Every structure is written in structure tokens, then in C-alpha cells.
Amino acid sequence: MLHGSLCDFVQGFTTNAPFVSMVRMSENHMDASTNVYELSYLIVPDVAEEDVVSEMTALKDQASRFGASFISEEAPKYIDLAYQMERDIANKKHKFNNGYFGWVKFELPPEKVAELNEELARSDKLIRFMIISTVKENTMAPKKAPRAEGRTRTGKKEEGEETEEEMSTEEVDKKIEEMATAE
């Protein structure tokens, strides 16, 4: 996930597999020995709210043992899941409708990613996780300002002078219909 929405994260989990690792070699890395990755994760909702930060720290400690250096992160937030997820924990199937979602971006040698993935897969505190290759830069899109009630179009009034005319929804629909039938 390149800091997209939670829906982007959840779309990566279309199977019942508890863990997904989507790692590809990145051309955007600091040097030849490390690539930039993002670990997105869902912590089980059974963890007490005051212990969630320590669980995140434990995840970061696991990555540190493999040589990760951290770039940015978002503390886990309690969320309702888009659909029910299942996970076998201690040979018992558990169903989850919510959890603590968070992410951490880090640099790591590519040969260590599979080892980190295996270690995270053994955690009983994670519902799911995903490791992806990404870029170091902040890729979060800024939030857009709310749109005005009416839509506007730009028209030429005189040579080089632009004006904005407000259009109603009906006018927009009519204009779209004209454009569609003109072909």
C-alpha cells in the first residue's frame, strides 16, 4: 500500500490466506544494499487499547533484528473491517470484524524480507499483514476540498479573458449526453 486508503489495504486480502507478502524489487532505494518497504498490519482486537503501542513496538523490533531502518509510521487505529476475516490461532479458528490497523515504512536489505515475513507470520497478535515495496517519499495524497454545490465550466468571454459560469446538474447531464451522442 502506498499510503492509500484502507480499502486499498483490504483489497489486498481477497483470499482467506492470513498473510500476504507483495514484495518486488524497488528501483527507488537509498543504496544498492537496501530497498524501501511498507508493512501494513491488522492487530487482533483482543489486545487492550493501552497495549497496542507496545505491539507496534514489538513489530518494529522484529524488523530491526533484520536490519530495518525506519522512515515513517502511523500508530494503529481501531477500525471496523469491510468484511469478516478469519485466522487460525492456536489451532482454533477466530473470526474478526474489527482490529487495529497501522503501518510502518522502512529500509531493509531485500534478502531479509522473506525472513521477516516468516517471523511475522508466526505472530498470534496479527490478523493479517502485507509487506510491499514502495518509495521513500511521502506518497499520501492530500485531502481535497469539498466541492461546491453547483459545477462550473470555464468559457472565453473575450480574447484571453476567462470567466466561470455555474452549471446545474441538469445542464451537466445534458452536455454529457450531447457529447456522448456526437460520436
Cα angle, residue 55 at apex, residues 50 and 61 outer, rounded to 5° = 140
pTM of the model: 0.60
Q: Which CATH class is domain 6-133?
A: alpha beta
Q: Which of 61-65, 111-115, 141-145, 152-156 shows the lowest per-residue confidence on average (mean pLDDT)? A: 152-156
Q: Tens digits of per-residue pLDDT, 113-129?
A: 999 999 999 999 999 99
Confidence of residue 1 (pLDDT cuts 50, 70, 90): very low
Confidence of residue 100 (pLDDT cuts 50, 70, 90): very high
Confidence of residue 81 (pLDDT cuts 50, 70, 90): very high
- Residue ranges of the domains in the chain? 6-133, 151-181
| Residue 112: CB atoms within 10 Å | 17
| H/E stretch holding 113 | helix 113-121
Q: Tens digits of per-residue pLDDT, 24-78?
A: 433 443 455 889 999 999 999 999 999 999 999 999 999 999 999 999 999 999 9
* 176 pLDDT higher than 60: yes
